Amino acid sequence: MATATVTPEVVNAPATSTQPVVLTPAAMAKVKEIMSSQDPVPAGLRIGVVGGGCSGFQYSMSFENAAGMMDKVVRFDDLKVFVDATSAMYLNGCTVDYVETLEAAGFKFENPQVKSTCGCGSSFSV
């Protein structure tokens, strides 16, 4: 009996309706800059949604060395973004930007599925 192997689904940018997340050019540049300073250089960026915060969910970002079996892999030129199947449901149509102002700098998530956010802006509900 043959065993089945599951491989991550790969989606190439630009944005398509099946793509769970979109990174702006500013976000891609910042991620690549941070990744290049890591030793060893990671294989890609994981973007996800985790439970927590005052509104129920929070975004998470971390570097990964490989895609998981159930991950969707989105390619932005030479940058790979890994999204697990559960997070993909909550991130569908989400745009990640990198914003620098006089007061702060950081990644900003624009998610059309979010119904409300908390006062601190770090968690959301759907």
Query: 25-74: per-residue pLDDT in tens?
Result: 999 999 999 999 999 999 999 999 988 777 778 889 999 999 989 999 99
Q: Looking at the structure, give the CATH architecture of the domain made up of residues 9-125.
A: Sandwich (2.60)
pLDDT of the residue at 21 = 93
Cβ neighbours around 78 below 10 Å, total: 8
Q: Report percent pLDDT > 90 for the chain.
A: 48
Contacts of 106 (CB under 8 A, 6+ apart): 98, 99
pLDDT band at 18 (very low <50, low <70, confident <90, very high): low
Q: Where are the domains of the chain?
A: 9-125
